[in-house]
Structure 1
C-alpha cells in the first residue's frame, strides 16, 4: 500500500497551530499542580527544580528535532513504525511501535485515574457526598462511586471527540491549552501580589515534605535528582508526528519541523514559571509541608482562587488524554498497515477518517482507568517513561542511519547540526534508557513495573501470532 493510499481516507485538517497545541497539551497535564511541591523537596528547593526542568528541555531538543526531520520527510500516521522498518527491519519496527503504543496508550487511563483522584481528594473536602459511597479498595487505595462516574464522563467526552475526527479533537486541545495558560497566569499573579523573590531562599535546604524528603546533600545533586524525572513530564511531544497524515493541504513542513522543539521549549518555560510562582507565594520551606501544596496554599489565601485553580487542575488531564489517544490509535493504524497487528487495525471509518478498531480498543482502555485507583499512578508513570524514551532512542538511530541509507530523501526540515545533532539525540536517549534499566539507578524500574512490561510483551507476541505477516506493497 502506498503512502498516498494510506492518506486517502483521513481528513486533512490540522494546522501547525493544531500540532503545537497537541504537543504542548500532551506534555502539560497536572504535574505542575499535583507534584510541584515534590519537585522542590526532591531537589532541595525551587532553584534546583527550575534548573533541572530547563536542562531537561534542552536535553530533549535534539530528539524533538529528529522527529521533526523524519516526519516532515515522511508525513504518515504512526510514522515511527515506518522509520524503524526502513532502517532496522520489521522486527525492530514492531518492537518499537508496540512499546510506543504502551508508552502513549498507558497515559490515557493514567489521566482518567488522575481526574478521579483530584475529584475525590480535593473536591471531596467541599462536597463530602463525593466520598459517601465507596466501591472497593485496590492496592490500598479507596475507589469511590461519584468521583469514578465524573472521571468516566470526562474520559467519555475525550473519546467522543476523537471518534468524531482529528479536527474535533484539535479544537478540544486548543481550549485545554488556553485553560492551562490561565492556570500559569493565575499562579504568577498570586506570586506577584502575595509573595516575593525572598521566599525562594534558601537556595538549597534539606526539608521534609508531606510525602517525601530531600535525600541529596547539595544543590547540584538536587538538580540531578529532579533531572532524571523530567523525561516523563516532557513525554508527549512525540504525539505531534503521529498525526502528520492529517495535516492540512499546503502545510509548511519546514515550520512543522520546528513545532516539536517549540512545544518542548514552551513547556519548559511553563514548568519553570509555575515552579518559581508557587515557590515564592510563601516561603518554599513552608509551602512544601502541605499535601498538594499548590492547592493548599491557595486555599489559605483565597477560597475562590483555590476553586479556580482546582477546576483548571481537573481539566488538565484531559489534554494529555486527548493527545495520547490520537497518537496511540495512529501508531496502531500504522502497525495494522504493516501487517504487525490484525488487518482490522488498518481500516478507517468512512465518515470520520479515524482508525476504527484502534479507537474502540483505546476507548475501552481509557474508560477502565478510574476503576484502578490512584496507587497505580506511579508504576504506570515509570513504565510509560521507559517505553517512550526507548522509542525516542530508536527513532534517533533510524534518523542517523537514513542520512547514510537515503541521502537523497527530500527533507524540508533538517536537524540543526546535521549528523552531529542526530548523534546527540541518540546519546541523550541512550543515557535515559540506561538510567531506567540499570539496577540501583535512581530511576530504575521495580519488580511491579517490569511485570507490566513483561505482560505487554506477551500480549504483543500473541497479537503478532494472530495477525501473521500480511504482504504490504509500497
Structure 2
C-alpha cells in the first residue's frame, strides 16, 4: 500500500518494471521520429536544422539527467506539478501543472492526425480526421482497461517502431546521397550566411518534437515498482535511444532525394521511401503499416501521461474532483482519460481556431504543445535549484550529475527556446497565455477547496 492509499485518497497500482518504463519513455516520443520534425526543414534547411536539432538534443540530455533527480525524489503522478508545488507553493504547482497539461493534451491530436495521414496513404478514401477520432476511441478504451495491459502494449509498439525505423534507414540507404542532403541546406542556400540564423531559431519547435514528452515517465512514477532504481535507467537509456534514432532518420530521409518535398507534410518517411523504391513497392506498404506502430506508441503513451496529470491535479483539488475517480474494476483514472480525449477531438476539428499564423493545423498544434513543454522545463529546473537550497536533506536516490552545470544548461536552453518561440509564434503564444489565464481564474476560485483538501491531508 502506498502513501496515497494509506491516506484514503484515490491511488494507482504499483506494477510497472524498468523495461516497461523504458518502453513508455521511448514510446511517448517515438512518433516524433516519424513526422513533425520535417517542418523544421522548411525554415532552416537540412544543415541548419541539424544544428538546431543538436542544440535541442544537448538541452534534453542535460534536462533529463537533472529531471530524474526530481522524479526519483518525489515520485508523484503529477510529475512537474508536484515538484513546483513543493518548491514554490500552490501557484507554482498550478503553473507547472497547467503547462504540462497543455503539452500532453495538445500533442495527441497532432499524432492522431498523423495516424490519419498514414492511413490515407494506404486507403485514399479514408478521411484523416475520421481516422484520428477512431484512434482516440480505441486507445482511450485500451488505457482504461488497465495500466499493465497498456504498458505491455506500449512496449510492444515501441519495439516494433524502432525496428521499423531501422528498416527505413536500411531500405533508403542505397539511394542515399550527401549531395541531396546538403543541397540548399542552409535555409534554401548552399552555404551558410547570417541570413540562415533566423530560420534555425524558427525551427526550434520542430527539433523539440524529436524529444517532446519523454518527461512523461514522471507521470507513471506512482505506478512503478521501484521508481528510485527503474526511472533513472529508463530515462537515460531512453534519451540515448531517441538521439540516435533522430539523427539516423533525419540524415537518411534528407539524403534520399529532394528534401524540400518532405518539408511540409505529415508523412515524410513514406514519401522519402517513394523516391527510392517507387509508389508500388512492397517496402512502401510495409513502411506505412509499420509506421503506424510508432505513431500508436506515442499516441497511446501520451494518453497515459495526460490522464495521470488530470488525475493528479483533480486529486489535489486543482481540477474538479470528478476527474480523480478511479475505475472500480480496472484501477485506472477513466474519467481523466475520457476528458483529455474530448479536448483532443475538439482540437482536431478546430481548424479555424488553431490554424493561425499561416501554418498548417498540425504545425500549430505541435507549437502549442511545445509552449507547454518549455514552460514546464523552466519551472522544473527552477524547482530543482530551489529544493537543493531549501531542502538540502531531502532523500535524493539520484542526484543530477555535474550540478549545477547540467540543470543550468537545460534551463538556459529552455529560456532560449521560449524567447525564440514567442518571437516567431506570437499568435499561438497569445492563445497559450489565454489558456493559462483562464485556468488561473479557476485556480483562484477554488482556493477554498484546496484548503479543505490540505486540512484533510493534515488529519
How many correspondences in the alignment? Answer: 442
Q: What CA RMSD, in Å, does the superposition of the two structures yield over aligned residues?
A: 3.2
* CA distances 1:201-220 after superposition (whole Å, capped 9, x unpaired): 44845539xxxx99975777
Q: How far does residue 333 in structure 1 lie from its aligned partner after superposition?
A: 2.0
Query: Is the CA contact 1:329–1:358 (under 8 Å) kept in the aligned structure 2?
Result: yes
Name the CA distance, whole Å, in 2 between partners of 1:227 and 1:91. Answer: 28
* CA deviation after TM superposition for structure 1 residue 415, in Å: 0.4
What is the TM-score with the length of structure 1 in the denominator? 0.82
Q: Is the 8 A contact 1:206 1:214 kept in 2?
A: no
2:271 aligned with 1:271? no
Deviation at 1:398, TM superposition (A): 0.9
- The match for 1:44 is 45
Aligned to 1:322: 300
Deviation at 1:101, TM superposition (A): 0.8
Residue 246 in structure 1 maps to residue 223 in structure 2: yes
Which of 380, 386, 389 is matched with 1:401 structurally?
A: 386
Q: Distance in 2 between matches of 1:158 and 1:293?
A: 24
Distance across 1 between alignment mates of 2:56 and 2:259 = 22
Cα 1:36–1:243, aligned 2, differ >3 Å: closer, same or farther? Answer: closer
Residue in 1 that maps onto 2:414: 429
* Contact 2:21–2:230 (Cα < 8 Å) also in 1: no
Q: 1:254 to 1:117 in 2, by over 3 A?
A: same
Are 2:158 and 1:177 equivalent residues in the alignment? yes
Alpha-carbon distance, 1:434 to partner: 2.1
* Equivalent-residue separation in structure 1 for 2:432 and 2:262 (angstroms): 35
Aligned to 1:133: none
Deviations 1:397-453 (A, max 9, x none): 11111112111111111101123333333323222222223xxx3xx3332552354
Q: Which residue of 1 aligns with 2:97?
A: 97
Q: CA offsets, 1:65-104, max 9 Å, x none? A: 2221111112121132221111111122112202211111
Q: Which residue of 2 aligns with 1:458?
A: 438
Q: Is the 8 A contact 1:64 1:261 kept in 2?
A: yes
Superposed CA deviations along residues 145-197 of structure 1, whole A, max 9, x for unmatched, are xx444333322221111101211211221122123213321222123333344
- Of 462-471 and 58-67, more deviation after overlay is shown by 462-471
Contact preservation (8 Å) 1:337, 1:343 = yes
Tell me which residue corresponds to 1:16: 18
**Compared CA separation, residues 456 and 394, structure 1 to 2 (3 A):** closer
- 1:282 pairs with 2:263: no
Structure 1 portions without partners, runs of 5+:
131-143
1:81 paired to 2:81:
yes
Is the 2:318–2:446 Cα contact (8 Å) retained in structure 1? Answer: no
Measure, in 2, the Cα distance between the counterparts of 1:2 and 1:35: 40
1:317 counterpart SS class: helix
Normalised by the length of structure 2, the TM-score is 0.85
Aligned equivalents of 1:287 and 1:326: distance in 2?
30
* Gap change, CA 1:448 and 1:191, over 3 Å in 2: closer
Q: 1:202 to 1:419 in 2, by over 3 A?
A: same
What SS does structure 2 have at the residue aligned with 1:257? Answer: helix
The equivalent position to 1:154 in structure 2, one of 119, 127, 135, is 135
* Structure 2 equivalent of residue 139 of structure 1: none
**Cα offset, 1:305, TM superposition:** 1.6
